[in-house]
Chains A and B, each alone.
Chain A
């Protein structure tokens, strides 16, 4: 890689980190529009209905999951900070912590889902549960994507791919992970509380 950079004399500099972070921000902009479609539809369905379409959900489990995800955002930030300092061990540990918190989130979500399935509550039950499964389902897929990225990062970090000069993948996964967290911050009150 560096050989090639020398082969063609450099004439101007763009840091790859900026490039990737910019790309990730654009991708997140696109993701915001994607979830806006769902949220917008949910708002329309709720505000246009003559009587409330909302059905109760398990607030305790929802709140617990909120706590788990917010904590995972903190551990993600710590992973990014330590990777900037080049502290491989701490980076690895905080990545692992984030991964485990994501797993916890998914386990709690599975508990919730299976309770619904036992009571024969499906997307077809009513319009509210349609939105419930749609929103939490797509959010869950995003969590899953984040977990895969975190796993790969952990392995790469252990292998020594990152140092204080090169931690772009951790940085941009951090951006993505905060976005996933943020979506849940909207989902929780929207579905469980309001």
Chain B
């Protein structure tokens, strides 16, 4: 064996079913594995949210169908109602599943895997074996996560943040085997995420096709690159924090248990000497960057979609990259804004408030750039474009409410209320999931080689946009009125009684939102098998993946392409000279026309 030219090396095409679909090294197949798995988890996680909403609107009333069926098991009581302990399990598990097992695998695992090599003109990622490994760590981790529901005392119930001593001390009622399983699952998923991030970084740095300079990378890939830095450097912190929590739980050490901790009248058995606040620092040092892992890749997806359907170059490509990079830099120094009310030194709170407010700058730059791209464009309002524009709109709402809670005086008032829930659902559902729907419909022709039904996409977009806002916007009002989150029954508090109609309204909207997803599910699954065959470049895009015929061959590119221009040269002089409004990145320079791109 000699020093091989890896850029051109492609692992042999698999012949057996097992190597083709199960233990596959092909980034496209691994991307699809991530896609299907995380979509299934998305449905399950969404179901948990529906159960939560039922309990909030109709406290202690039997859940129709499911509750009747599963009386006295999981999180249901004797009448099929959600018990208060069950409610806490549902809340914690909904958050953990959505963050670690749905959004991150969906936008990084699925889109990153499928798009990065195609976007940079590579035959595969740098380490195909590690890529397969990262999926096969993620799937068992996900199953481990769900297995927590089946053990004694049920799943984790200390909130998705798993703050000690509630998640930690042996005497706390929420501590069972389920919590250990969940921590183990997070550790595994984290490992999978680190391996994946490292793989993407090497791929993007080393395997770009000739001419694919950093300033010609599609923003999708830029966003994945920045996300991968987060994954590689921040995820180990949750592994460290989670390990310490597990150590406390399994070996009775007391990293997070202070001296003389009592639960009720009983003193906990641990020796003490630890610091509960320390866990919050470690957790948020990871989990705040994780919040950006949840949004950055979708900023990339939306940028590509918006430029393609506005038929214009992206407005401020450089500013887009710089703002994403500054979001990354700032993302590492803002974690304390989750802890304003945790007993943090107020001076620290001030520092974290300032760094947090600074994040509004790059975020604002991005929003204005998207609007600038739309401005004066020949906009084609196809399904993916509707989703992408909604992404921007919802991101503005979620971003603005974020500025309020970044200010310490305001946060004291709205901390741990429904205002917070409204905020992060506007970002993670409103922005991220809309961009995911946009990305799925946009790249569907490349991923599955078929077209989705455009009318059904538009119907699904309309229903989701409507019911999403009906469900989550009123939560701002509830939060301002002081409605606490993580409250199994609000009937015990007199001042919350007036909000019961709102809660019912939100729940009904949430159910409608959930049911609307059936439109997408049907359209997606039907189109995978029976959709009309897609042309290789249905949206007339410039980036390299659209130059490949459908279905994408195993080795991606017959010949590694040479790149001559940036990804968003829509309606430019070269394209016009060819008599169209787009020109592929690998189209040789048009003679006699000055290229206007670096």
Contacts and interface: CB of A to CB of B under 8 A. Distances in A.
Contacts of A131: 255
B12 to A, nearest CB: 7
A23 B5 CA distance: 17
A164 B273 CA distance: 54
B232 A8 contact: no
A133 B254 CA distance: 12
A165 B244 contact: no
A5 B8 CA distance: 6
Interface string B241-257: 10110011001111100
Interface string B3-14: 111111111100
Interface stretch (B64-72, B483-491, B553-561): B553-561
B2 A130 contact: no
Interface in A27-49: 27, 29-31, 33-38, 40-41, 44-45, 48-49
B9 to A, nearest CB: 5
Nearest to A44: B278
A11 B211 CA distance: 11
B183 interface: no
B1 A166 contact: yes
B234 A33 contact: yes
A49 B278 CA distance: 13
A134 B243 contact: yes
Nearest to B555: A8
A60 interface: no
Contacts of A5: 4-5, 8-9
A112 interface: no
* Interface of B: prevailing SS: loop
Nearest to A130: B253
Chain B interface size band reads: 35 or more
A14 B207 contact: yes
A37 B275 contact: no
Nearest to A13: B5
A29 B271 CA distance: 34
Interface stretch (A70-78, A81-89, A120-128): A120-128
B4 A44 contact: no
A45 B255 contact: yes
B510 to A, nearest CB: 37
Interface string A6-33: 0011111111111110110011011101
Contacts of B274: 45, 127, 130
A49 B274 CA distance: 9
B560 A11 contact: yes
A20 B278 CA distance: 36
Interface in B1-36: 1-12
B442 to A, nearest CB: 28
A18 to B, nearest CB: 7
Interface stretch (B133-141, B193-201, B409-417): B193-201
Given A30-B232, A33-B233, A122 B251 contact: yes
Given A123-B251, A127-B253, A37 B239 contact: yes
Closest 9 CB pairs of A and B: A37-B240, A130-B253, A127-B273, A124-B252, A34-B236, A123-B253, A33-B236, A123-B251, A26-B198
Interface of A: 1-2, 4-5, 8-20, 22-23, 26-27, 29-31, 33-38, 40-41, 44-45, 48-49, 53, 122-127, 129-131, 133-134, 138, 161, 163, 165-166
